[in-house]
Amino acid sequence: MDLALTSERTLWIPSVTDYPDVSRQFRQWGQKVKCGKKDRVYVLRDTQQLLAAARVLEPAEGQFLLRSLTVAPELRRQGLARELMQHILHEPRQWREPALYCYALGYLREFYLGLNFCEYRTEQVPMAIAEPYRRYRERGKTFVLMGHVQNDLR
């Protein structure tokens, strides 16, 4: 499904049969990503190429995890990640707040804060989100656990 965002760019939500092509594009951008059958994949593209992509996983019912937000290296720092994220965040959806989480790289903390994400401690989030995060931390990863909030009910 394609949704026009600007005269040049569209949002593409590929079908599962397109996932191998999107996974190849992630690898070309330097990401070790394989789109899974249960992933929801969002791609920002123009008439010539894919510009940015992200996956949203549902590790437990009603709890969603943003993964692999990536922009083509030559197009970074032009607002494409923000544009893609704004669409993802405003898509009509059934998830409750703050049910879209991410494990942000430290240098992207401000980016996510600007999109109305907040930092969380593992005891504040569902186990399906907290446990993988804990395992990453045990292996030395320095991600920041964040969740998207429209109305902060913490």
Do 91 and 106 lie in one domain? The reply is no
CB 99 within 8 A of CB 62: yes
Task: Note down the domain range covering 11.
Answer: 1-95
Say how many Å lie between the first and final Cα of the chain, rounded: 35
Please list, in sequence order, all residues whose beta carbon lies within 8 angstroms of the beta carbon of residue 81, skipping any fewer than 6 positions away. Answer: 52, 69, 71, 111
Tokens of 73: 């290296």
Do 82 and 139 lie in one domain? The reply is no
CB 51 within 8 A of CB 29: no
- Here the CATH number for the domain that contains residue 37 is 3.40.630.30
Q: What is the pLDDT of residues 24-35, one digit of tens each?
A: 999 999 999 999
Q: Give me the count of residues in the chain.
A: 154
Do 79 and 114 lie in one domain? The reply is no
Do 75 and 142 lie in one domain? The reply is no
Do 54 and 39 lie in one domain? The reply is yes
Do 4 and 36 lie in one domain? The reply is yes
Please list, in sequence order, all residues whose beta carbon lies within 8 angstroms of the beta carbon of residue 12, skipping any fewer than 6 positions away. Answer: 1, 2, 42, 43, 44, 45
pLDDT at site 152: 47
pLDDT at site 8: 83
Q: How far apart are CA 11 and CA 143, in angstroms?
A: 28
Report the number of distinct structural domains present in the chain: 2
Residues of the chain with pLDDT > 70: what percent?
87
CB 43 within 8 A of CB 55: no
Residues lower than pLDDT 70 in the chain: 1-7, 92-98, 149-154
| Last residue in a domain, options 95, 110, 131 | 95
